[in-house]
Chain A
Amino acid sequence: MRNLIFFFYKYYTFILFFFLELFSFVVLYQYNNYQKASFLNFTGGISSSFYESINSTTNYFGLRNINDSLLAENASLRSQMMNAYYQSGTTQTSINDTVYKQQYSYISANVVNNSVTKRNNYITIDKGAMHGIEPDMGVISSNGVVGIVTSVSLHFATIRSALNGNTKISCMLKKNNAFGSLEWNGDDPKFSSLKYVNKHVPITSNDEVVTSNYSTLFPEGIPVGQVYSHSLDAGDNFHVIKVNLYTDFSTLKNVYVIKNIFKDEQQTLEGNLKGGN
């Protein structure tokens, strides 16, 4: 017993170090494996409100660019509106269309914190659970795909951006619907790579890459990028494709979070299938 006490007395620094290290590994492991374990809730959104106050100042420097991109988007949306097609504006609310049922709704948000040079990049936005955002929702900008929501607090949410080693987005080539998975190799924030596209699929440069209809996160056909270069190693079954991303992550300011209204239904159905086997 005395030896035991002496042992603890002699190595208390190591014991302290050991337990704290164990604690941090547990936190790291938990968070990496279960997206439900929201780190943002754990820290109470301190960091997000800090970044928001910083952002309210730095936002002024980019106002001109933000305005320009919003104007361009407004123009393109206006041209898609019903009243651009000469129709008298009667009320359009709550039409229960039985042929076209709304599947996706969009929540707009501002980026309050962002990084592009880390191996695993995260984005923080200023909308959270209060505005209807939940983990595992897709996020896009006016140009293309941005990432996937990982954790949500009341007023904020963090997004695993497409520039993250753990983000895999199901994509396809627009011209022939060949499927692949968009994964970032950590080199250049302007480019990502499209993996697992079969070698028999013909590919040329500047082919457009869009989101596929396999994903429950994104609607089909959201633009992702263009094929920048492609090659095929001998004996390999898949193309090596470098994709030039449409989204400029370093100047990202406004994003849209996508709510898939049928997602639970689809996942329950697929879950049943797995459970049945």
Chain B
Amino acid sequence: MVIELITYIVRFLLIILIQLLVVNNIELSTYVNPYMYILFILTLPISMKPWVVVLISFFTGMVMDTFSSTPGLHMAATGFMGYIRGFYLQFSCSKEDFAGRIEPSISKKGIVWFIVYMTILTLLHHVFLFYLEIYSFKEFFRTLWRILSSTFFTVLIITLGQLLFYRNAKT
């Protein structure tokens, strides 16, 4: 239990650091702003109580807000995603998944399930985040395009990361 907690803390710090120091510095275009830090929320165990996930989501968002001078923005978006995650898992996972401490990953649930899961929740997060950042529907289509391309890159980074690092650790 303690080891598990330490693993999560280390993973949390690593993901936040990668987001801040590497991914935030990708300056491809103003239309590509991947936020892969949501990976931490998405790979929490399936059986984890929803209210714990919601709390952790808000905390993660708060940490991101602190480092990007956008108070409340990431907190609202990530919290929303963490809340929706519970419903999505209930709808798409079997009873056995909830019994053990299985984490949603490619090796456990298969690549198709994983990518669909990632895309839907990342899209929800990004839609919430980007429209809240603009605070109006004035630039509706431009923002939509920004959301779609950012979602694509977020899912790409997360999936590649999973294929590179998680597979060895889990087998």
Chain A positions near chain B (C-beta within 8 angstroms): 12-14, 16-17, 20-21, 23-32, 39-40, 42-43, 46-47, 50-51, 54, 115-120, 122, 124, 150-151, 158, 165, 185-189, 250
Contacts and interface: CB of A to CB of B under 8 A. Distances in A.
B73 to A, nearest CB: 6
A240 B138 CA distance: 17
Contact of A24 (B27, B68, B69, B72): B72
A151 B79 CA distance: 25
Nearest to A158: B69
Contacts of B86: 13
Given A13-B54, A40-B69, A28 B21 contact: no
Given A40-B69, A43-B66, A117-B33, A27 B75 contact: yes
Contacts of B80: 17, 21
Contacts of B30: 116-119, 186-189
B95 interface: no
Interface of B: 21, 24, 26-30, 32-33, 50-51, 54-55, 58, 61, 66-73, 75-76, 79-80, 83, 86, 130, 132-135, 139, 142-143, 146
B83 A17 contact: yes
A151 B69 CA distance: 10
Contacts of A16: 51, 54-55
B67 A24 contact: no
Q: Is the interface of A mostly helix, strand, loop or mixed?
A: helix
A41 to B, nearest CB: 11
B27 A32 contact: no
Nearest to B143: A119
18 contacts: A13-B54, A23-B75, A24-B72, A25-B72, A27-B71, A28-B72, A28-B73, A39-B69, A40-B69, A42-B71, A43-B66, A50-B67, A115-B68, A119-B143, A122-B69, A122-B70, A185-B139, A186-B139
B67 A47 contact: yes
Contacts of A47: 66-69
Given A14-B83, A50-B67, A187-B142, 11 more contacts: A13-B50, A16-B54, A20-B54, A20-B75, A23-B72, A25-B76, A46-B66, A119-B133, A186-B142, A186-B146, A189-B30
Given A13-B86, A17-B83, A116 B51 contact: no
A165 to B, nearest CB: 7
Nearest to B146: A119
Nearest to B64: A47
Contacts of B143: 119
A180 B128 CA distance: 33
